[in-house]
Amino acid sequence: MSDQLVVAGASVATTAFLERMRELGDSRPITVVEGDPDAPYDRPPLSKSFLLGGDIEDIAVDWTGLGANRVNGWATGTWPAGKVLSIRNDKGGERELEYGQLVIATGATPVRLAIEPADTLTLRSAEDARRLRARASAGQRVTIIGAGAIGVELASSLTMRGSHVVLLDRAPGPLERLLSGHLAADVTQWLTTAGVDCRWGAGIGAIQRLRTGWRVELADGTRLDSDVLLSAVGARPSVGWLAGTTLLTDGLLLADERGRVTNAGGVVPDHFAIGDAVSRRYPDGTTERSESWAAARLHGARLAEELCGALSEPGPRPYFWTEVAGRKVQVVGSLRPGMSLQVEFENPERGSVLYRASDGVAEAWIGVNAQPRIARLLMGA
Ligand SMILES: Cc1cc2nc3c(=O)[nH]c(=O)nc-3n(C[C@H](O)[C@H](O)[C@H](O)COP(=O)(O)OP(=O)(O)OC[C@H]3O[C@@H](n4cnc5c(N)ncnc54)[C@H](O)[C@@H]3O)c2cc1C
C-alpha cells in the first residue's frame, strides 16, 4: 500500500495547502490530480478583470518550488478502504493511483434551473470565461439569471464591455445570500446607474430558444429576448464522482473543523476535504458550506497545520468580497437579515463607507471601497 499524499483538484484551497505544508517544513512529495489544463489559477478574476481582457498568465498561480507532482485527469471514483483513486484523462485513458492520504478539493459546479436548457452559459472555469468573452461582445443583449455575487459581477463587467444587460432574480433584491438583504437599494442603484436593467422578484415561467438567441418569459408575462443567456443561480459541491462511496452522507461530503472527512461511523481515517466541495459539520450537529476564496484558503492552510501537528488558534472572522459596478464590497463576519446597520466611517469624496451590522448578539461589517478599514478589522486591530 502506498503512503503517497494525493490531492484531487488543483484548487484555491490546494494552493494554500501546499504553501502552508512547505512553510511548516514538510517536504514529502504531494501528487495533485486535476483535469483542467489551465489550472492552477485564481477564480475571482474570472467574472471581473479576466472577463474584460487578459490572458491565463494574468490569473495563473505559480506552484514553482511547492513540490507538487501534477497528474492530468479527472478523479472518477475512489475506494476508501483500499485507498485507490480512479482517474480518467480527456483522451479517455484510465488509471488507478494508490494513496496513503487523500485530500478532496474539487470545488463546486454551477447549478442549473430545472427549466433551463443544457446549453445556457455558466461561469466557473477559465474556459467558461473565454467562451463568454467570445459570445457576449459589445452591443449584444445579455440576460443573466441570478443576482448573487457572480451574476452581479457579470452584469457589471459585461455592461462595462458594452453589452446591454438585463439582470433578473426571483429574490426581492440583489446579493440576497451575501448581504442578507442589506444595502439592496444601494446595490440596485449602482447597477442601474452603470446601465444594468435590474428585475427583482422576477419568477421565470419559461425559457425558449429562438432562431438567433433566447427568450425568457417571466411569470408576469414579460418577455425578455437576448442574444446570450447566462445562468448564475448558484453552485453545488463537485462531489458527484464520490457517489456510492462511504465518503458521502446523504449526498454531502462532510468534514469536521480539522478537515477530516466524517460519516455516520465517525472520522474516516486518512481522508480530508477542503474548499467549496465540503460541508463543515460542527460538534452541535449543524453543517455549513462556504463559497469564498478566503474560506477555501483557510481550509487549505489549516489542513496543512493539522497534518503537520501544528494547528494554530481558530481562524480569522469569515470574509468575502465582491465587486459591483466599480465598487469593492467587502463583508467581515456573518451578516444576518435582522441586523441593524450603522455607519462607522464615511468618506463621501472617495465613495467609501464602513457599516457595522449588529443584532445585539453578533456583529459584522460591510465595507464599500473601504479596503484599509477592512484590512484593519481582518488583522484584529
Ligand atoms: C467567477 C467566480 C468569481 C468569484 N469571485 C469571488 C470573489 O470575488 N470573492 C470570493 O471570496 N470568492 C469568489 N469566488 C469563489 C471562490 O473562487 C471559490 O470559493 C474558490 O475558488 C473555491 O476554491 P476550492 O479550493 O474549493 O476549489 P476551486 O478553486 O473551485 O477548484 C476546484 C478544482 O478542482 C478541479 N476538479 C473538479 N472536479 C475534479 C475531479 N473530479 N478530479 C480532479 N479535479 C477536479 C476543478 O477543475 C478545479 O480546478 C468566485 C468564484 C467564481 C467561479
Q: Which residue type, as a one-letter code, is found at position 360?
A: G
Q: According to the model, what pLDDT value does residue 2 have?
A: 85
Q: What is the pLDDT of residue 54?
A: 87
Give the residue among 100, 103, 49 at the shortest CA–CA distance from 75.
103
Residue 26 — φ and ψ, nearest 5°? -85, 120
Q: Sort 373 into a burial class: Cβ within 10 Å, 0-12 / 13-18 / 19+.
A: buried
Q: What pLDDT sits at residue 316?
A: 75
Closest CA to 334 of 366, 300, 380, 381: 366
Atom of ligand 1 nearest to the CA of 39: 49
Contact 49, 161 (CB under 8 A): no
- The contacts of residue 152 (CB under 8 Å, 6+ apart) are 167, 174, 175, 187, 191, 322, 324
Our answer on whether the CB atom of 106 is closer than 6 Å to any ligand 1 atom is yes
pTM for this structure?
A: 0.96
Nearest CA to ligand 1 atom 9: 321
CATH superfamily of 112-231: FAD/NAD(P)-binding domain (3.50.50.60)
Ligand 1: which of 11, 127, 231 to mutate, judged by most atoms within 8 Å of the beta carbon? 11
CATH number (3.30.43.10, 3.30.70.1140, 3.40.630.40, 3.50.50.60) of 5-109+236-307 reads 3.50.50.60
Rg (C-alpha) for the chain, rounded Å, is 22
- Contact partners, residue 55, CB within 8 Å, separation at least 6: none
Distance CA 123, CA 150 (A): 8
Does residue 71 line the site of ligand 1, with CB under 6 A?
no
Q: In this predicted structure, what is the pLDDT of residue 381?
A: 59
Query: Does residue 105's CB lie within 6 angstroms of at least one atom of ligand 1?
Result: yes
Q: What is the pLDDT of residue 205?
A: 95
In the predicted model, residues of the chain with pLDDT beneath 50 are: none
8 Cβ closer than 6 Å to some ligand 1 atom: yes
Joined together, the cell numbers standing for residue 120 give 445556457
Residue 87 CB–ligand 1 contact under 6 Å = no
Place of cell 446549453: 119
Q: Is the CB of 353 under 6 A from ligand 1?
A: no
The structural domains of the chain, with segments of one domain joined by +, span: 5-109+236-307, 112-231, 326-378
Q: How far is CA 374 from CA 292, 314, 370, in A?
A: 16, 19, 6
Q: Please tell me the distance between residue 7's alpha carbon and the centre of ligand 1 in angstroms.
A: 15
How far, in Å, CA of 152 to CA of 91, rounded?
A: 36
Residue with the smallest CA separation from ligand 1 atom 37 is 106
